């Protein structure tokens, strides 16, 4: 992944508009379409797999009786994402990048499916899905239309994520109320991430940083992870509210 300021004159790959004017805009538009097309495919796969436990009780029972498989998928998904983000050639070389992205998506989708199977409440999952869709859509529109440049706040956002990790350790020892606060903060943090990542992908004049147009796989993955994490935190909030 390469980030760069839009004012960098030494490398046109960092800029939304290059010397060809409309050609630069067309390239960026094609990049955006590719990113969102891949992300929608990832979400479709995840949604389909999430439905399976509710269509077959036997399948649901099989999933929850094999938690080790879900853990293995989570670890493998993390390893694949690290590989794609850390090794530039993996993220950009076709068809290797698509193959790795597909395996990553299947791993993440299975992990989400395991969570939904454990929840075993179709109404909560459906509510969380609609709330996530509404929130993600609204945040995307805001990120594209606002004049506020969130790409300048990368360091601050990573700092917030670090605080969240520390807070999660404390929430383990302080009961349901603290856990509910933690989940609410989780939604807020990943909502901010979604705005930040959307602006990295859309780019535009005046943006401090944006993704290179060759990094469409990475763009799709970061958006996908933002949305999935929002979904999972909302599920946790709804479960805790129901239990209370």
Rounded to an integer, the average pLDDT of 186-197 is 93
pLDDT for res 2: 37
| % of the chain exceeding 90 in pLDDT | 59
Q: What distance in Å separates the CA atoms of residue 222 and residue 192, rounded to the nearest whole number?
A: 12
**Domain boundaries in the chain?**
15-243
pLDDT for res 20: 44
Please give the helix or strand (H or E) that residue 4 lies within, else none: strand 3-4
> At 207, is the pLDDT very low, low, confident or very high (cuts 50, 70, 90)?
low
pLDDT for res 176: 73
Position 139 pLDDT exceeds 70 = yes
Q: What distance in Å separates the CA atoms of residue 228 and residue 132, rounded to the nearest whole number?
A: 8
Render 189-200 in DSSP notation, one character per residue.
HHHHHHHHHHHH
Q: What distance in Å separates the CA atoms of residue 106 and residue 31, rounded to the nearest whole number?
A: 23
Average the pLDDT over each of 39-48, 136-145, 175-184, 229-238 and give the range with the smallest value.
175-184
Express each pLDDT in 77-86 by its tens digit.
999 999 999 9
Express each pLDDT in 76-115 by its tens digit.
999 999 999 999 888 999 999 999 999 999 999 999 999 9
Higher pLDDT, 129 or 148: 129
Rounded to an integer, the average pLDDT of 215-232 is 96
Average the pLDDT over each of 18-22, 106-110, 125-129 and give the range with the smallest value.
18-22
Return the axis-axis angle of helices 67-86 and 57-64, rounded to nearest 10°.
70
pTM for the structure as a whole: 0.86
């Amino acid at each position: 992944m390469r980030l760069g300021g839009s004012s960098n004159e030494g490398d046109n790959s960092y800029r939304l508009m290059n010397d060809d004017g409309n050609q630069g805009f067309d390239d960026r538009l094609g990049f955006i379409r590719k990113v969102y097309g891949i992300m929608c495919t990832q979400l479709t796969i995840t949604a389909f797999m999430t439905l399976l436990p509710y269509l077959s009780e036997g399948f649901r029972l099989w999933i929850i009786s094999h938690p080790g498989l879900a853990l293995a998928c989570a670890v493998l998904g993390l390893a694949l994402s690290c590989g794609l983000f850390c090794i530039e050639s993996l993220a950009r070389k076709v068809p290797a990048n698509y193959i790795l992205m597909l395996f990553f998506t299947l791993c993440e989708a299975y992990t989400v499916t395991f969570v939904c199977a454990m929840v075993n409440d179709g109404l909560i999952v459906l509510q969380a899905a609609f709330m996530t869709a509404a929130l993600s859509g609204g945040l995307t529109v805001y990120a594209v239309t606002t004049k506020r440049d969130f790409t300048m706040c990368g360091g601050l956002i990573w700092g917030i994520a670090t605080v969240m990790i520390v807070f999660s350790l404390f929430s383990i020892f302080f009961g349901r109320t603290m856990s509910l606060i933690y989940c609410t903060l989780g939604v807020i943090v990943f909502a901010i991430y979604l705005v930040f990542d959307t602006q990295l992908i859309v780019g535009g004049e005046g943006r401090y940083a944006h993704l290179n147009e060759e990094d469409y796989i990475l763009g799709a993955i970061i958006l996908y992870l933002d949305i999935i994490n929002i979904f999972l935190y909302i599920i946790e909030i709804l479960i805790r509210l129901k239990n209370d």
